[in-house]
Amino acid sequence: MEQRLSVITLGVADLTRSRAFYEQGLGWTVGSAAEQVVFFQLNGIVLALYPREALAADAGVPSSQGSGFAGIALAHNVRRREEVDTVLATAERAGGRIAKPAQATFWGGYSGYFADPDGHLWEVAQNPFWELDAAGNVSLAPGQGA
């Protein structure tokens, strides 16, 4: 298997609400959409929103809503520390919930977390050891820290 990630699909309770959060709230552009799915073209990857029940059925797993930590967090890296606070504020205004306010990290960066309307966690981080290119892609150079 090639070391690559193509699509992240988030199971959502209300597709209309989730689309509005990402599209109007965060200002993202929809790449394509159909009755039961919305796709956002990110830099080299696609984020899909799909009804939670339908996603569980497609995967052949129980569709229990569950609660608490799902064992995954998505991350959005920014170039400057102050951008972390700006993105968190934007997410909160859009209907997200601040899970952890921005703060200095043990690894030398600055980050905080928000949860989207379905509770999916997003870390917003400024990592002084990583550089982002013009498109926002991060590259791991050999030997770089955290």
Residues 84-132: pLDDT tens digits? 999 999 999 999 999 999 999 999 999 999 999 999 999 999 999 988 9
The hierarchical CATH code for the domain 73-126 is 3.10.180.10
* H or E element, residue 133: none
Identify which of 139, 27, 11 has the alpha carbon closest to the alpha carbon of residue 90.
27
Strand 73-78 versus strand 121-126 pairing type: parallel
Contacts of residue 87, defined as CB under 8 A and 6 or more positions apart, other chains included, come to 76, 78, 124
Mean pLDDT over 66-70 rounds to 72
CA gap 33, 70 in Å, rounded: 26
Rounded mean pLDDT of the chain? 91
Tokens representing 113 are 């977390």
CA gap 42, 60 in Å, rounded: 27
Residue 143 pLDDT > 80: no
Q: Kindly list the domain boundaries of the chain, sorted by start residue.
A: 7-59, 73-126
Tokens representing 134 are 């013009």
Specify the CATH architecture of the domain 7-59: Roll (3.10)
pTM of the model: 0.88
Q: Please give the share of the chain, as a percent, with pLDDT higher than 70.
A: 94
Res. 66 pLDDT band, cuts 50 70 90: low
Q: In DSSP terms, which residues pair with 50 in a beta bridge?
A: 11
